[in-house]
Amino acid sequence: MDILRKKKISSPLLFLFVLLFASVVSASSAFDFVDKDGDLLADAPMTADTRSPDVLIYTTSPEAEKKNLSVRHAGLMAFIAKETGKKVVYLETESALEEIEKMRDGQLHIAGFSTGNVGFAVNIAGFIPFCVKAKSEQIMGYHLQIIVSSKGTYRSLQDLKGKVLAHTSATSNSGNIAPRALLPKFGLLPDDTYQVIYSGSHKKSIMGVVDGIYPAAAVASSTLQRMIQVGTITESDIRILYTSPQFPTLAMGYVYDLAPGLIEQICYAFLEYSFSPETVKAFKGATHYLPISYKDDWEIIRHIAEYNGYSYTTDGLQKMLQKKQK
């Protein structure tokens, strides 16, 4: 279980709750949540304690979507306003930390969080992720892939023992954090049974393999496919030795203590909305949203975070952000 009920409690009581519920919430946080149904999300409070604000504050991850966020989401915001009968206002944020703080403090109601930050938002702010972008009936996502040159003799992961495997950068999920967590079960231990060299980017790793600079590389499938599509490389240039389970993309959701009727209207709006042609292009072919399960779809992300020592607490988020800034 990740979470307990949101309320201020004394240190002795917090310690007791940790023992009873095996929570990952630390004493440094003023909040905790209840999860009686085991879905790893905050249970809704008593009806009398829920909120139905006249103005809904909406934002999405600046790290994940980069630019023109309020424009890209304007159509959906208008649709949510129509379904709920409430004004929907976009809130500009600078970071995931600011997003989480706003939601935790009751100043943000609907939000999108990038893949690695979803767990922090869930546990620190009571975020309830329920949908992601989709193309047809397939949710959008990407994979870690281990690639080698098609001209070489490497045919399996075991062939890479004792070799160099290019990672991208220290804070990259598919380019470093994920392979460190997922490859040991195949006998590939970073800086032990294989040598890590940082290339600086997924593109440099891919071109390094194609040009014979690196024997192998850990890369994002999305970058690899994009380079093939634009003709930078061809499928025949590389051989894929491993593809991880799918990593979900940015998740959309709401804060846990909204009124049940309002939540139903918000969810309906997301799942019924179809993207405009301009938004489809900006979202790389995604056309709509589909439901997801945090417990199931984020299992691999939680495993990677745990393996790399990230706890889903305010302190854990601060440590991760400090690492990214180095």
Q: Over its length of 326 residues, how does the chain's per-residue pLDDT go in tens digits?
A: 333 333 332 333 333 223 222 333 332 333 578 999 999 999 999 988 999 999 999 999 876 555 667 788 999 999 999 999 999 999 998 888 899 999 999 999 999 998 888 998 999 999 999 999 999 888 988 999 999 999 999 999 999 999 999 999 876 888 998 999 999 999 999 999 999 999 999 999 999 999 999 999 999 998 999 899 999 999 999 999 999 999 998 899 999 999 999 999 999 999 999 999 988 887 888 999 999 999 999 999 998 888 888 788 777 776 665 655 44
Q: What is the pTM of this model?
A: 0.78
Task: Please give the CATH topology (third level) of the domain spanning 144-244.
Answer: D-Maltodextrin-Binding Protein; domain 2 (3.40.190)
- Contact status, residue 236 vs residue 215, Cβ threshold 8 Å: no
The class level of CATH for 11-139+248-325 reads alpha beta
Q: How far apart are CA 117 and CA 56, in angstroms?
A: 22
- Contact status, residue 176 vs residue 169, Cβ threshold 8 Å: yes
Q: How far apart are CA 271 and CA 112, in angstroms?
A: 14
By residue count, the chain amounts to 326
Tokens encoding 15: 């310690």
Q: How far apart are CA 211 and CA 193, in angstroms?
A: 24
CATH 3.40.190.10 spans which residues of the chain? Answer: 11-139+248-325, 144-244
